[in-house]
Structure 1
Amino acid sequence: MHSGNEIQIRQREQLLAKLRASFPALSPQFQAAARFMLDHPQEVSICSMRTIAAQAGVQPATLVRLAQSLGYDGWQGIREIFVAAVRSGPQPYANRAKKIVRSSSASRMLADMVEAQHRNLDLWRNVSPEALSKAADLLAAASHVSIAGFRACYPIAFSLHYVYRLFRNSVSLLRGDAGTLEMELRALNPKDVLFAVSFAPYSREIIRCVDAARAAGCKIIALTDSSVSPIALKADCVLPFSVESPSFFPSIAAGVAAVETLLAQLLAKQGRGAVKALEAAEGQLHETGAYAPADKS
């Protein structure tokens, strides 16, 4: 059974997905309006129809006609979907933390957490095999792979970078240390792939990475919490994963599982060459003393 929150968010995502699918057949005016809705879904819920029309470069009547073409009586029907989705969206971390402090016991929290992680992993298990294969193909064919994930998404991005580097050298992690993100992004070229990781609230840095990759002509793979997230809308391949958690902070368990699944597929795709590279990396780690010696007692 789905909660009211999930249903409202899903309705908005279905509407946006419908817009994306029908976009090529829309008139130029409808395309301008639809593009604004797809690129700025949060603003649809808080701005007036006239403001949205002005920012999209169309007349207010265009928004009304677009809504009617999608089966709504008028613009208000569409706006209500966006408003409901925002109201039921992720709560600020501090608000969720207050609820935990007030009401959760250790035993209840353990059970709820394990159940939530099971659900998240079950949802990942149902990911489209075609999307996973496409992601692996894009990565394998890339001249260079850049990986980006900031703040809470960083552990997922780092996991992919760390393991992928064990059997492929042409992989880098975009960090932006000391304000150097623009410098790193200037190195992107059309033969590269950007692997972007993000979930709500979406960081400004990841949006900049995706925009720069698109401008450079790179292919983009988005590992994200929604098929219509800001990075998904600009991606060539989308791998959605759930971040639901009873805790105050989103869960990254399914995101890590996604990366591990993809790494296994990449290793299998590269075959013996990848195995040899992995053996060499492992041997070097042991030789340089990266690991503590095994206890022989």
Structure 2
Amino acid sequence: MDKATVDRLIKEKFVLLPPTLQRAARYAIDNPRAIALHSMRTVAGNAGLQSSAMHRLARHLGFDGYESLRNVYREWLSRSAGPFTDRATALQQRKGRDKTDTLISEMIAADSNNLHQMSNADTLAALRTAKNRLATSGHIYTVGLRSLFPAAFYFNYACSMFMRNTTLLSGTGGISFDELRHARPGDTLVIFSYEPYARDALSAARFAHEQGLHIVAITDSVISPVAPHAEALIVVENTTPSLFPSIVPVMAIAQTLVAMLVADGGRNSLGKIRKSETQLRDLQIYVQPGKSLPSGKSHHRP
């Protein structure tokens, strides 16, 4: 059975369903990605229902339980992402003011919803698992390629302010992920990965798993190729009318993980942050408050 068949069954059976199951059915129709990505408890909670309601809906539709229904939505989600050309075409087909005011509103609304979904129980539990693993890792390697590189760079850079055991896997100079050759069991790989999934990022995840590393994955689906390897699987919504899937949620996850690590870092972290600030000040990396930028030109006559 595919999602189109499920949608048809829901529409055919809707008027015969009791009110509670009608609410569950309406939620499934309106939020198919949520069904694919989240547990029965989380979905039911977001719909304002008891968990049993989602199970009963699945049985009414001919499934043996919620997970069987969810598998249909997972399969649909794995095939539903359109190519970039389709996204660009949809943007250009907008008319008049729809290209400006409405588009801006939809962009903001989409990311507001993406961020709101981060507060579900599954994501919170995964964040706690990730923080605990990172806090006890021998070394932390981070990878995020192409549009997700900013999230990986931010996470590694921010952590370097108070940790001395982080490495960004950037592939600079065509060396791919040679740094992982030095990794040991007990180290951790943090990977940011969205569909379409970058081949090199997946290769890094597989290699790290084979070497006995722990893996923290920030991705867009429970059926992501990195999911089977992850000890902490943080699934984020990335819906947007823009060209690429939104990177706002992964940036928020990166910032949240850093904040959690600092919050639990104690005096050791504070000492390293003070030292980093002193070094940056001594190196004159930033313009000091109240001082203007040097012009680079002499005001003296020759």
Flag whether TM exceeds 0.5 (same fold). Answer: yes
Say which SS state the counterpart of residue 264 (structure 2) adopts: helix
Out of 92, 115, 123, the residue aligned to residue 109 of structure 2 is 115
Q: Offset of 1:84 from its aligned partner?
A: 3.9
The equivalent residue for 1:158 is: 153
Q: Secondary structure at the match of 1:254?
A: helix
The 3 A distance-change label for structure 1 pair 279 and 253 is same
Could you say what secondary structure the match of 1:158 adopts?
Answer: helix
| Alignment correspondent of 1:100 | 91
SS at match of 1:95: helix
Query: Which residues in structure 2 correspond to 1:204-219 (within 5 Å)?
Result: 204-219=199-214
CA deviation map 1:22-64 (0-9, x unaligned): xxxxxxxxxxxxxxxxxxxxxxxxxxxxxxxxxxxxxxxxxxx
TM-score (normalised: structure 1): 0.73
Letter of the 2:32 counterpart: I
Task: Describe how 1:68-147 pairs up with structure 2 within 5 A.
Answer: 71=64, 84-87=76-79, 89-103=80-94, 104-128=98-122, 129-147=124-142
The alpha carbon displacement at 1:228 in A equals: 2.2
Letter aligned with residue 90 of structure 2? K
Deviation digits for residues 213-257 of structure 1 (CA, Å, limit 9, x no counterpart): 111101111011112211112111111111110112111111111
Quote the Cα distance in structure 1 between the aligned partners of 2:270 and 2:210.
Answer: 35
How far apart, CA to CA, are the structure 2 residues paired with 1:85 and 1:295? 53
SS at match of 2:112: helix
Return the alpha-carbon distance in structure 1 between the equivalents of residues 119 and 158 of structure 2: 21
Structure 2 unpaired stretches of 5+: 1-25, 41-62, 293-302
Corresponding residue for residue 270 of structure 2:
275
Q: Is the 8 A contact 2:37 2:221 kept in 1?
A: no
Match of 2:196 in 1: 201
Does the 8 A contact of 2:163 with 2:269 survive in 1?
Answer: yes
> 1:142·1:191 contact (CA, 8 Å) conserved in 2?
yes
Distance 1:97 1:139 in 2: 38
Higher-Rg structure is 2
Q: 1:183 to 1:136 in 2, by over 3 A?
A: same
Cα offset, 1:191, TM superposition: 1.9
- In 1, the alpha carbon distance for the partners of 2:248 and 2:170 equals 22
Q: Distance in 2 between matches of 1:130 and 1:284?
A: 36
Query: Could you tell me how far apart the structure 1 residues matched to 2:134 and 2:71 are?
Result: 38
TM-score (norm. length: structure 2): 0.71
Q: Deviations over 1:97-155 (max 9, x none)?
A: 11111204211111111101110110012253332111111101111000011011111
> Where does structure 1 lack aligned partners over 5 or more consecutive residues?
16-69
Identical counterparts, % of pairs: 28
Q: Cα gap change, 1:293/1:134 in structure 2, threshold over 3 Å: closer, same or farther?
A: same
Q: 1:78 to 1:247 in 2, by over 3 A?
A: closer
Partner residue, 2:261: 266
| 1:121 partner letter | L
Q: Tell me which amino acid in the other structure corresponds to 2:239.
A: E
